[in-house]
């Protein structure tokens, strides 16, 4: 297994991959610009500048106004042409709201540098090198979250990034507070950049803010999907469910990629599970089919898997694309063909970001349905009402709520995610005096993904705690219930008992009465029979360090939060991965 590189190189001859973007964003991995790429940028810059100066004709991005001001010509004066770029950045840095997360800003910066380094934006290598210098110095621009419609690019957030390259605007200090950028650059020995023709527009015209959020969110959601699979496996065991719906030969008959992957996870997680094996015989268990929340979990979570992977594939394309406007294309061997297009439009990314919200909404509801079943005495196969501890004194039992309220929390979180699931990309609001008459609204959509990720992790945390409580209850029980048919001989005995009870009551009360007696089968099991699979026990052990069985009512708020942190950190899937492969 090869180790990950300690430096990420921006090279126009190779593609950048999503893992590299995440490492720069989250782990502060260093970045460099390949020498050959810097030389290519320098050569192409000379070509296009010489062409514009020679033609003395309007060239958007070089000597014309921006947006609906495209009809305004700028005099052929170097200072005015540079001021055109500077004023573009200053005027468009108009965001509001709290700061975007540091990792989002760093990913945005890397993506912008990668796009410019492709050589079709007409910028000098110094522009890319300035972004790289800030990344390596750990200087993170203060970028207000709100203000982008992701249509003529993420103009507003990218302008806040660009301001810092110029020694203006604000940055985040080590405590995450907003401070002026100039002193931070001076302390790092980085001279402010002075923009020249086209470079301001090249810096703020792109989809990198939207794409950065999408990439980081998709990576976390992949982890939460694994946890959802683990929670499913725990539920299938402690709810005495069947492993049959996850068989490979069954899923080969409908081979959607996501369902195949999730079913393979579940088979691995359920392998050699004593608690499953002990009731697998239908003549003992008596259950013909599990509810959909277990039986259809591979199809449901598999669809979420497909949504996430489709999004990642699109984000990978975008990460290696050139998204500003105009682009400088080749003509007769020189990069001088200035072509206006629409690569800055965020719709290709927005629709995939919405897929991430869809995946979370589906995952959360599936988890919540299992939570509702856990606390329902009529449906949880002998786990009791609200998962109240079975060994509790009868008098105290009447005062106990167990995990009742945690199910409310799960329902509340699901509703929160649903409430953030508005398809903003379907509700375009025209901007720029109608020039930008159809915008993607991708950034507002992506910001809601960020809001929902912690909530989805909390939904899964509730379910994991329910599963841990259910497993603990099973382990102190000396039997498991059965819905298997009662033998005919037993019915004869039951009817005889009913008649005897009827006669005794009528004799005592002096009036007619009907008596109905029900018989429930249950089977004894050993301590070994009550154990789950090895990966499941490892996960339960980890959860148990943060959430102990609820043997009497207590507040579990902090514990739920701690388990949610485990979900987001990757610790839950890492515990299972000691025994099974949860890769794709």
Distance CA 297, CA 307 (A): 15
Contact 214, 446 (CB under 8 A): yes
Residue 534 has which token pair?
A: 């090895």
φ and ψ at 235, to 5 degrees?
A: -65, -40
Sequence-ordered strand ranges (E) for 361-502: 479-482
Nearest to 19 by CA among 151, 107, 87: 107
Cα maximum dimension of the chain: 117
Contact 464, 563 (CB under 8 A): yes
Enumerate long-range contacts of 359-362, CB under 8 Å, 24 or more apart: 359/221, 359/225, 359/303, 359/304, 359/307, 359/308, 360/221, 360/224, 360/417, 360/449, 360/452, 360/453, 360/456, 361/414, 361/417, 361/418, 361/421, 362/300, 362/303, 362/304
**Residue given tokens 């890397």 in the structure block:** 110
Reading the block at residue 20, the tokens are 């590299």
CB 470 within 8 A of CB 370: no
60 is catalytic: yes
Q: How far is Cα 559 from Cα 547, in angstroms, rounded to an integer?
A: 5
CB 121 within 8 A of CB 115: yes
Catalytic residue, chosen from 60, 142, 305, 523, is: 60
**Positions marked catalytic:** 60
């Amino acid at each position: 297994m090869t180790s990950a590189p300690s430096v990420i190189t921006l090279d126009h001859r190779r593609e950048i991959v999503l893992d590299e973007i995440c490492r720069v964003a989250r782990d502060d991995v260093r970045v460099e610009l390949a020498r050959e790429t810097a030389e290519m940028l320098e050569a192409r810059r000379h070509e296009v500048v010489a062409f514009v100066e020679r033609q003395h004709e309007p060239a958007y991005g070089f000597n014309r106004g921006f947006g609906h001001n495209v009809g305004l010509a700028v005099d052929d004066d170097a200072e005015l042409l540079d001021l055109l770029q500077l004023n573009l950045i200053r005027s468009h840095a108009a965001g509001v709201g709290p700061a975007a997360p540091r990792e989002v800003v760093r990913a945005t910066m890397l993506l912008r540098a990668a796009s410019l380094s492709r050589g079709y934006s007409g910028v000098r290598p110094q522009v890319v090198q300035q972004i790289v210098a800030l990344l390596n110095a750990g200087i993170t621009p203060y970028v207000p979250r709100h203000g982008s419609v992701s249509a003529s690019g993420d103009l507003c957030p990218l302008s806040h990034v660009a301001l810092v390259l110029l020694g203006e605007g604000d940055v985040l200090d080590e405590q995450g507070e907003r401070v002026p950028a100039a002193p931070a650059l001076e302390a790092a020995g980085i001279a402010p950049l002075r923009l020249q023709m086209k470079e301001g527009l090249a810096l703020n015209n792109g989809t990198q803010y939207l794409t950065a959020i999408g990439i980081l969110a998709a990576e976390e959601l992949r982890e939460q999907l694994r946890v959802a699979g683990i929670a499913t496996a725990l539920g299938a065991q402690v709810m005495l469910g069947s492993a049959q719906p996850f068989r490979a030969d069954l899923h080969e008959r409908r081979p959607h990629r996501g369902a195949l992957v999730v079913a393979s996870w579940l088979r691995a997680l359920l392998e050699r599970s004593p608690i499953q094996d002990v009731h697998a015989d239908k003549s003992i268990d008596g259950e013909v089919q599990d509810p959909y929340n277990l039986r259809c979990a591979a199809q449901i979570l598999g669809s979420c898997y497909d949504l996430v992977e489709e999004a990642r594939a699109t984000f990978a394309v975008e990460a290696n694309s050139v998204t500003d406007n105009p682009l400088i294309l080749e003509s007769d061997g020189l990069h001088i063909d200035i072509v206006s297009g629409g690569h800055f439009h965020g719709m290709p990314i927005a629709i995939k970001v919405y897929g991430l919200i869809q995946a979370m909404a589906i995952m959360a509801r599936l988890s919540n349905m299992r939570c509702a079943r856990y606390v329902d005495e009529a449906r949880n196969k002998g786990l009791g009402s609200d998962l109240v501890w079975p060994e509790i004194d009868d008098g105290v039992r009447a005062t106990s709520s167990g995990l009742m309220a945690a199910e409310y929390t799960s329902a509340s979180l699901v509703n929160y995610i649903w409430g953030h699931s508005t398809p903003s990309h379907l509700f375009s609001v025209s901007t720029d005096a109608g020039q930008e008459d159809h915008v993607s609204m991708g950034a507002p959509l992506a910001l809601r993904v960020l809001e929902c990720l912690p909530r989805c992790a909390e939904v899964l945390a509730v379910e994991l705690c329910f599963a841990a409580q259910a497993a603990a209850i099973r382990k102190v029980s000396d039997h498991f219930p059965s819905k298997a048919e009662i033998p005919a001989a037993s019915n004869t005995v039951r009817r005889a008992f009913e008649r005897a009870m009827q006669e005794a009551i009528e004799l005592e009360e002096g009036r007619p009465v009907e008596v109905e007696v029900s018989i429930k089968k249950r089977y004894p099991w050993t301590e070994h029979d009550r154990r789950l699979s090895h990966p499941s026990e490892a996960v339960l052990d980890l959860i148990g360090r943060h959430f102990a069985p609820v043997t009497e009512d207590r507040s579990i708020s902090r514990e739920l939060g701690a388990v949610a942190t485990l979900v987001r950190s990757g610790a839950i899937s890492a515990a299972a991965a000691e025994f099974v492969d949860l890769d794709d």
